[in-house]
Amino acid sequence: MKISPNGRYLTEDDGTPFFYLADTAWHLFFQAPADIETYLANRAGKGFTVMQAVILMGRGPAGQAGRPTSDGEFALLDNDPARPNEAFFRRIDWALDRIEQAGFVAALLPAWGGFVGPTRNDREFIIFNRANARAYGEYLGRRYKDRRLVWVLGGDHNPNEAPHRAVWEAMGAGLAAGDDDRHLMTYHPMPHQGGPSSSRWFHQSDWLDFNMLQTGTRIDRANYLEILADYNRQPPKPVVDGETRYENSHEFFYKSEKGRKVTAHQVRKGAYNSMLSGAMGHTYGCRDAWSFHVPSDEPPPRDVDMHWKDAMDLPGAGQMRHMKALLTKYPWYRLVPDQDGALISRGRGEDGTYVPAARAEDGRFALAYVPEGQTIRVDTGQIRAERVKASWFDPRAGAYDGIGDYVKAGEVTFTPPAGAGDPDCVLVLEGREAERE
């Protein structure tokens, strides 16, 4: 993988733009082989292109660092990052084979943040220092130098303290040394405590190839503002929301009268907010799915209530393929966010009613996501053509509904079609040549 010449998105090695549509498959490596195969097949069928998974995460029995594989192997011998367990990594090798064969890029986290510094959930289990972090990074870099992956440092950790930043930088230096600097690298932060983007600490670092932020399980959070902030940083680097509204989870994971569930509508809002505000791609998530929850599990993971095989087919997951199809037909890598309101002159809204919009860099087409069915006013003069074709795109079904053709004549009012279910639609404006007599 490479960074595009304009610093806005990822490409294949031959320069072909890469649509980064990730799934937070955090616990993938710890599952039985048959379950890994089932999960990957499901996600491939839904159009995902990236599997985001962690090598060292959580705790095992008797203070063991990290979760074991389904056959009981742990990543480290004696919790020593300089002593990786060959049996564990043979399972990772096998899983990476399957990830690649299914057509995915792996977004690989070497270790969760709690092993470097305190996070909300792992506060006193620090096993990394600068020396062993570099050694661990070199080991992973050498072992996976020929794999199709990007490296993701961090893991729910904001390195506000200089010693923590030094450990992550040492691990990154080890990865780069081990794989001859072949792979792109980013950092996954927490959504709070002064975050949420990697740019806060590392934007000017040469090793950080693209920014990653985490906007968390918040309903109607203005994630577009955080994407735009990174989009506008110099030098330009691609940006992606690496963990956001988990479908079927409660807001803040509160299972009480205070908690509202994240619906497919909320999932779509977060995704279109990101993509039409300059993101290189997006990350979907579902806690029931990535935790591989089975209702008989004791104790159950936090805020889950559905078998993982059922959760994989929640509607929001399947609807990501429709967003990908739309943004492939009207290429995301040509879009420039409409930050100045030149396109949407009225009805832009804010927070949960915000209408993210973007125009092609050559002015040939434009897209606007209308989240709550509100009426908007659009300056069709922003489209560089004699006539403008307008359509509604249904983000739930992936279907188009024509509105009509307009002579390029300035502002036009659009109201999404009323119908059953959620009210969101995408307005598609496409330039057309004038008809000849």
Residues 6+ apart with CB under 8 A from 43: 23, 25, 51, 102, 104, 312
Distance CA 275, CA 281 (A): 6
Q: Which residue has the higher pLDDT, 156 or 421?
A: 156
Same domain flag for 409 and 352: yes
Distance CA 197, CA 206 (A): 16
- 183: pLDDT strictly greater than 70: yes
Same domain flag for 201 and 300: yes
From 334, 357, 391, give the residue that closes a domain.
Answer: 334
Same domain flag for 150 and 231: yes
Inside any domain, residue 437:
no
Show the CA angle centred on residue 337, arms to residues 333 and 339, nearest 5°: 165
- 122: pLDDT strictly greater than 70: no
Instruction: Decide if 268 contacts 323 (C-beta within 8 A).
Output: yes
pLDDT tens track for 278-321: 999 999 999 999 999 999 988 888 899 999 999 999 999 999 99
Q: Which residues pair with 108 in a beta bridge?
A: 53, 151
pLDDT of residue 186: 98
- 256: pLDDT strictly greater than 80: no
Q: Name the band, by pLDDT with cuts 50, 70 and 90, for residue 205.
A: very high
**Cis amide prior to 423 (ω within 30 degrees):** no
From 266, 299, 334, give the residue that closes a domain.
Answer: 334
- 436: pLDDT strictly greater than 50: no
Q: Name the band, by pLDDT with cuts 50, 70 and 90, for residue 276.
A: very high
Domain that includes residue 67, residue range? 2-334
Same domain flag for 281 and 421: no
Tally of structural domains, the chain: 2
Q: Which residues pair with 60 in a beta bridge?
A: none
Task: Work out the percent of the chain whose per-residue pLDDT is above 90.
Answer: 84
**Cis amide prior to 84 (ω within 30 degrees):** no
From 312, 334, 356, give the residue that closes a domain.
Answer: 334
Same domain flag for 213 and 277: yes
Listed in order, strand segments (DSSP E) in 66-168 are 105-109, 149-154
pLDDT of residue 194: 55
pLDDT tens track for 75-116: 999 999 999 999 999 999 999 999 999 999 999 999 999 999
Q: Name the band, by pLDDT with cuts 50, 70 and 90, for residue 238.
A: very high
Mean pLDDT of all residues belonging to the chain: 93
In 10 A of CB 386, how many CB atoms?
A: 12
Same domain flag for 149 and 203: yes
Same domain flag for 245 and 377: no
Same domain flag for 325 and 344: no
Instruction: Decide if 410 contacts 380 (C-beta within 8 A).
Output: yes
Cα-Cα end-to-end distance for the chain: 49
Residue 401 maps to which CATH number?
2.60.40
Closest-CA residue to 267 (of 307, 306, 311):
311
pLDDT of residue 437: 35
> Which DSSP state fits 223?
H
Same domain flag for 311 and 425: no
pLDDT of residue 118: 73
**Cis amide prior to 235 (ω within 30 degrees):** yes
Give the lowest-confidence range in 7-16, 206-215, 294-303, 326-335.
294-303
Q: Name the band, by pLDDT with cuts 50, 70 and 90, for residue 124.
A: low
- 123: pLDDT strictly greater than 80: no
418 burial level (CB within 10 Å; 0-12, 13-18, 19+)? exposed
Closest-CA residue to 193 (of 270, 312, 113):
113
Residue 57 maps to which CATH number?
3.20.20.80
Give the lowest-confidence range in 166-175, 217-226, 247-256.
247-256
Beta strand pairing call for 376-379 and 411-414: antiparallel
Distance CA 380, CA 365 (A): 10
pLDDT of residue 255: 72
pLDDT tens track for 364-416: 999 999 999 999 999 999 998 889 999 999 999 999 999 998 887 689 999 99
Q: Which residue has the tokens 């710890």?
A: 30
Alpha helices (runs of H) in 2-85, residue ranges in sequence order: 33-45
Same domain flag for 326 and 348: no
